[in-house]
Amino acid sequence: MNPFQLEVLLVAVGALIAGMALWLRYDSVLALAVVLGMLFLFGLHHLHQFTRLMRWLEQPPETPLPTGGGAWEVVFAALHRRARLAAEERNQLSTALERFLLAGQALPDGVVILDGHHAIEWLNATAETHLGLSREQDTGSRITNLLREPDFIVYIEAGQYAEPLLLHPVRNPGCSLSLKVVPYGDARSLLLSRDITQLEKLETMRRDFVANVSHELKTPLTVVNGFVETLLDGLPELSGEEAKHYLTLVHEQAQRMQRLIEDLLTLSALETGRPAPSEECVALDELLAEVADEARALSGGRHKIDLVGVAGDKLLGSRNELRSALGNLVSNAVRYTPEAGAIRIAWERAADGSGAFSVSDNGLGIESQHLPRLTERFYRVDRGRSRESGGTGLGLAIVKHALTRHQAVLEISSELGRGSTFTARFPPQRVKQ
């Protein structure tokens, strides 16, 4: 028997007993009036509790339940339990949803959830940036009304999503995206976007590099081939002097190829990104004296070369890489400074503990528009002059890489016809006394 049935039974028995007692002792009208009164009060009590329940049901779900009277106490307690369980479930669900949305936001790729009509249901911050969309304004809009590139519309409407689509979105100029649609559930789909701008740039660089290297090797090889053919065809008729002349030219071209291969190997070793092979305290007096001697040998007495300001300082780094970087700067100064020019090799310490190695010349100088591109591989201001002086076009690329591995920066200042200064600035933690 449930509490309501018990309550009705008790009230009925109570009313019956009271009615009978009153009837026997007094009269039937009083007995009937009391019984009806009791039943009326009982009904009123239920109506009151029922009204409280109805009022509670109209309130928001988190409103606490009123406490009930009599049998309603049990009903309210049961409802209370249910409401608490539902609230707990709701909390768990919203925590799980929040976690899911946070994970979606943290994804490095762009994610857009589309409904069956390709309308946007949700998108993460990366997708907003990639596709130039706004979650607030564009949710609910069809993606094809927002991204109007014909390739994209054809891709999304064709429904063939095995291959990704390469897109250069108008809303995000300069960016290359790889887009992929993944259908799921009831006609919904995920639109995933990945930024491949860097990858594309690298691919273009790789292609240019291969083309440049092939071109750089092809020219001397053609020359070598030409001279070797001449030698082969005309050897019996050629004088010893002529043969020597051709062989010298062949030798020059072979050396040019060798220099190129050596520079390529140096650059590739630097570009592997691994830390410098052995870090040591390199004595600058010794290193710079070596570099200056090398410059004097290359100059063959044609320039005035000075070395200033090295008083026992040391640099923490790889001796080979530092020598290669400084050697390239000095050799450039010699090669691009006409005879009788002056070259100054200097080491200076700044007040903040950093150190700068600089090579100044009063040679040809460089026009300012070339300066930002000088450290690119194979970039030359004057191709002919670079080749004549034995340049490979890789010297400054090597310098830049070697310096970057030592957290140093290369600064270039130059004026056409007046000369140039190349400065390698090392951070304080690399400079020792």
Residues making contact with ligand ADP (CB under 6 A): 328, 332-333, 336, 361, 363-364, 366, 374, 379-382, 386, 391-397, 420
Token pair belonging to 15: 């009313």
* 79 vs 85: CA distance, rounded Å: 10
Q: In angstroms, give the least distance from the CB of 226 to ligand ADP.
A: 24
Looking at the Cβ atoms of 147 and 397, the one nearer to ligand ADP is 397
* 422 vs 90: CA distance, rounded Å: 67
* 417 vs 337: CA distance, rounded Å: 10
Q: In angstroms, give the least distance from the CB of 138 to ligand ADP.
A: 48
Looking at the Cβ atoms of 323 and 432, the one nearer to ligand ADP is 323
Looking at the Cβ atoms of 220 and 395, the one nearer to ligand ADP is 395
Q: In angstroms, give the least distance from the CB of 266 to ligand ADP.
A: 12
Q: How far is CA 160 from CA 46, 115, 187, 288, in A?
A: 65, 17, 14, 64
How would you classify residue 171: left for phi > 0, otherwise alpha for psi between -120 and 50, otherwise beta? Answer: alpha
Looking at the Cβ atoms of 12 and 346, the one nearer to ligand ADP is 346
Token pair belonging to 299: 């100059």
Give the containing element (helix H, strand E) for 251: helix 240-271
* 90 vs 63: CA distance, rounded Å: 14
Which residue type occupies 16?
L
Token pair belonging to 121: 């249901």
Q: In angstroms, give the least distance from the CB of 106 to ligand ADP.
A: 42
Looking at the Cβ atoms of 88 and 306, the one nearer to ligand ADP is 306
Q: In angstroms, give the least distance from the CB of 370 to ligand ADP.
A: 7
Looking at the Cβ atoms of 195 and 263, the one nearer to ligand ADP is 263
Q: How far is CA 158 from CA 110, 146, 188, in A?
A: 21, 18, 15
Looking at the Cβ atoms of 181 and 364, the one nearer to ligand ADP is 364
Q: In angstroms, give the least distance from the CB of 216 to ligand ADP.
A: 10
Q: In angstroms, give the least distance from the CB of 314 to ligand ADP.
A: 26
Q: What is the CA radius of gyration of the chain?
A: 44
Q: In angstroms, give the least distance from the CB of 319 to ligand ADP.
A: 21
DSSP string of 310-368, one letter each residue: --S-EEEE-HHHHHHHHHHHHHHHHHTS-TT-EEEEEEEE-TTS-EEEEEEE-SS---G
Looking at the Cβ atoms of 318 and 386, the one nearer to ligand ADP is 386
Query: What is Dmax (Cα atoms) for the chain?
Result: 162
